[in-house]
């Protein structure tokens, strides 16, 4: 059992992309810092999600750190979209290159973090009883790290193996000769199904509740010519990312821009041409095709019809044809799913699509699953049922701020933050890629680098002035939370049950959790805050310099 009480200047919880970068930046800035990582390896998402087919849906030349041009030149991605093993190798390389491993404590799952008013420090305790003391805590716990345990009748009675995508057995799992059921057709389920269908064929049973929108990735090995061209112009790529609403820009191997044209202003021919360009490009670039797709139902319907036709072309004549057509949510209100050859799982390899939604009864029994009373015998059940997104990890810990207030109580109705960095009543605690920021809709490296640097600048500002306690103005937190809600309600996101809204978790009502005004607007708010000397943060309890009527606008 470890007992590291010195106290540390900063303890970072989590050693995924943002935790690794926070460790690098804060140590470089002269803070004593360590990262506590629950897993036996650093890497976060890219360690845990080792299921078959796991691959990023943003192009790797962009889904990478930009802070060190030398690193950009040294590392070469093999594929347009890196698979999980390659991404983990990249993070290994970063950790080794910057000598971060000695400062990462592996296998330390933080159970509690309690603020001590008398010493202005946080006391952290792991599930195994390790203790740490810190002046500041950075929660880099990931937006998609707390697996959701789905509510399915009889799940605990299953006699075979239950595999959860995010806890795939480290040594792999032999599917040969087994009858396998997959629950979930989100990004994860679609990747798993596509990867295992060639081996399993008719022995694969996909238990689908909602048909997804799947677009091609057009993944391929990167040519030397393309890699050389990007390495010769990385500064231009990175600058474009900073100005782009989602923090990533590639369209058909070139730098695209944020949308300026509206769907409904374009002619039918222009619309189709634009959608076709995106389809042939592959990837998530549909998000930046037109400016109103997430604002206007009529505009969104144009994309929905286009994508439904594309699905139909791929499954025409299949006995379950209608069940593949996505109808239950508007495209983009849940993350678009990027995968090559998904429908081949059914049309070529013969996987069995089973509708467990639409009022059909679905239960797990010891021998398999029963759908409308009919037994499908299974040896293995794979749960690709998603996450308790954004707030899942922080509220699963016992985090208590000033006066012993628990974070999960403070966030009972919805998470509330200032700019996605701080929470009133939880002094000296910072979030990265958590609630209140444009996480999920901004690519993780772009956002993590920006947020970590903001936190570093805040801590440096405080250190230079001798401040030891940083808390958030409640008025400013309310203003940011109100703004978040206003922006959310301008969009179509509330129409879908999704992890963006917390409403994928059974029994939880939708709540605003993310900032949907785009990365450039978020950056502007953050930089204004920093450049004006953090007017919405109280240092050492002094409230005189706080803005009286903070407001945020798009
Ligand atoms: P998800 O998008 O939340 O999908 C979960 C799936 O499980 C849905 O199909 C859902 O059905 C189904 N499900 C949940 N509970 C169920 C129940 N009780 N009975 C039947 N079905 C149930 O989760 P995910 O696929 O893990 O993806 C989450 C996010 O991770 C993505 O949005 C993306 O941001 C990220 N991700 C990215 C990549 C990539 O980069 N390529 C890969 C994987 C994940 P309903 O739709 O009916 O709710």
Q: Is the CB of 189 under 6 A from ligand 1?
A: yes
Q: What is the pLDDT of residue 149?
A: 85
DSSP H helical segments within 316-430, as ranges? 321-324, 344-347, 392-396, 407-410
Residue 185 CA to ligand 1 centre (angstroms): 6
| Cβ(187) – ligand 1 distance below 6 Å | yes
Q: Which of 357, 358, 366, 304 is nearest to 331 (CA)?
A: 304
Model-wide pTM > 0.85 = yes
Q: Is 194 in the pocket of ligand 1 (CB under 6 A)?
A: no
Burial of 512 (0-12, 13-18, 19+ CB in 10 A): buried
| Ligand 1 atom index nearest CA of 54 | 42
Q: Is 135 in the pocket of ligand 1 (CB under 6 A)?
A: no
Q: Is the CB of 487 under 6 A from ligand 1?
A: no
Question: Does the C-beta of 186 come closer than 6 Å to ligand 1?
Answer: yes
Q: What is the pLDDT of residue 277?
A: 96
Q: Which atom of ligand 1 is nearest to the CA of 166?
A: 26
Which residue matches tokens 């889904």?
63
Q: Which pair of tokens denotes residue 357?
A: 């939604």
191 Cβ inside 6 Å of ligand 1? yes
Give the CA diameter of the chain: 71
pLDDT on residue 257: 83
Say if residue 492 is exposed, middle or buried (CB neighbours under 10 Å; 0-12, 13-18, 19+).
Answer: buried
- Predicted confidence at residue 259, as pLDDT, reads 83
Tell me if 539 CB under 6 Å of ligand 1: no
Cα 451 from chain centroid?
15
Contacts of 476 (CB under 8 A, 6+ apart): 418, 536, 546, 547, 550
Say whether 537 sits in a helix, a strand or coil: strand
Protein residue closest via CA to atom 31 of ligand 1 = 187
Q: What pLDDT, on the 0 to 100 scale, is given for residue 382?
A: 98
Using the mean position of ligand 1's atoms as its centre, give its distance from the Cα of residue 96 in Å.
Answer: 33
- Mean pLDDT per 10-residue run, the chain (554 residues)? 81 98 98 98 98 98 98 98 98 98 98 98 98 98 95 97 96 96 98 98 98 98 98 98 95 90 95 96 96 97 98 98 98 98 98 97 98 98 97 98 98 97 98 96 97 98 98 98 97 96 92 96 98 98 94 93
The pLDDT value recorded for residue 260 is: 85
Q: Whose CA is nearest to atom 14 of ligand 1?
A: 385
Which ligand 1 atom sits nearest the alpha carbon of residue 210? 47
Q: 84-97 and 17-28 helices cross at what angle (nearest 10)?
A: 10
CA separation for the pair 348, 201 (Å, rounded)? 9
Percent of the chain that is helix, strand, coil (3-state, to 5): 35, 20, 45
Is the Cβ atom of 57 under 6 angstroms away from ligand 1?
yes
Check pocket membership of 230 for ligand 1, CB cut-off 6 A.
no
Per-residue pLDDT at 1: 64
Does the beta carbon of 259 lie inside 6 Å of ligand 1?
Answer: no
User: Could you give the CA distance from residue 254 to residue 240 in angstroms, rounded to a whole number?
Assistant: 11
Question: What pLDDT does 374 receive?
Answer: 98
């Amino acid at each position: 059992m470890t007992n590291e009480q010195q106290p540390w200047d900063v303890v970072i919880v989590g050693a995924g992309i943002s935790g690794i970068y926070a460790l690098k930046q804060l140590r470089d800035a002269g803070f004593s810092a360590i990262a506590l990582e629950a897993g036996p390896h650093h890497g976060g998402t890219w360690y845990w999600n080792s299921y078959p087919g796991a691959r990023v849906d943003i192009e790797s030349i962009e889904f990478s750190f930009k802070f060190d041009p030398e690193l950009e030149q040294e590392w070469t991605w093999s594929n347009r979209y890196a698979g999980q093993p390659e991404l983990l190798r990249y993070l290994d390389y970063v950790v080794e290159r910057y000598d971060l491993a000695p400062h990462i404590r592996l296998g330390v799952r933080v159970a509690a973090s309690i603020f001590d008013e008398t010493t202005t420090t946080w006391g952290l305790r792991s599930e195994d009883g390790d203790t740490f003391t810190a002046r500041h805590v950075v929660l880099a716990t990931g937006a998609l790290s707390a697996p959701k345990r789905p509510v399915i009748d009889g799940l605990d009675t299953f006699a075979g193996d239950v595999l959860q995508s995010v806890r795939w057995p480290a040594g792999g799992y032999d599917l040969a000769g087994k009858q396998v059921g997959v629950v979930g057709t989100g990004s994860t389920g679609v990747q798993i199904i596509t990867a295992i269908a060639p081996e399993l064929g008719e022995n694969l049973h996909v238990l689908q509740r909602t048909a997804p929108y799947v677009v091609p990735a057009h993944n391929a090995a990167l040519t030397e010519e393309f890699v050389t061209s990007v390495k010769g112009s990385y500064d231009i790529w990175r600058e474009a990312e900073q100005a782009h609403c989602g923090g990533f820009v590639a369209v058909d191997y070139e730098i695209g821009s944020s949308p300026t044209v509206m769907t409904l202003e374009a002619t039918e021919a222009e619309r189709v041409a634009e959608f076709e360009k995106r389809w042939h490009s592959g990837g998530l670039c549909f998000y930046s095709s037109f400016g109103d797709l997430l604002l206007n139902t009529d505009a969104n319907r144009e994309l929905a019809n286009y994508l439904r036709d594309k699905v139909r072309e791929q499954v025409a004549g299949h006995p379950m044809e209608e069940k593949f057509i996505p109808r239950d949510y508007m495209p983009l209100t849940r993350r678009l799913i990027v995968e090559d050859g998904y429908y081949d799982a059914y049309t070529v390899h013969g996987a069995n699509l089973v509708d467990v939604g639409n009022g059909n009864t679905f239960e797990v029994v010891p021998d398999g699953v029963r759908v409308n009373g009919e037994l499908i015998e299974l040896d293995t059940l794979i749960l690709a049922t998603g996450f308790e997104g954004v707030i899942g990890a922080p509220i699963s810990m016992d985090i208590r701020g000033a006066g012993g207030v628990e974070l999960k109580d403070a966030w009972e109705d919805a998470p509330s933050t200032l700019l996605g960095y701080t929470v009133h009543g939880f002094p000296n605690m910072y979030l990265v890629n958590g609630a209140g920021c444009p996480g999920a809709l901004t690519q993780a490296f772009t956002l993590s680098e920006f947020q970590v640097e903001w936190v570093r600048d805040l801590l440096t500002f405080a250190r230079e002035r001798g401040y030891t306690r940083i808390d958030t103005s409640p008025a400013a937190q309310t203003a940011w939370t109100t703004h978040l809600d206003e922006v959310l309600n301008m969009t179509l996101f509330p129409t879908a049950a999704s992890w963006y809204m917390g409403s994928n978790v059974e029994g939880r009502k939708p709540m605003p959790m993310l900032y949907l005004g785009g990365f450039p607007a978020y950056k502007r708010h953050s930089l204004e805050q920093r450049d004006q000397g953090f007017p919405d943060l109280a240092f050492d309890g002094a409230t005189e310099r706080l803005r009286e009527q903070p407001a945020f606008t798009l």
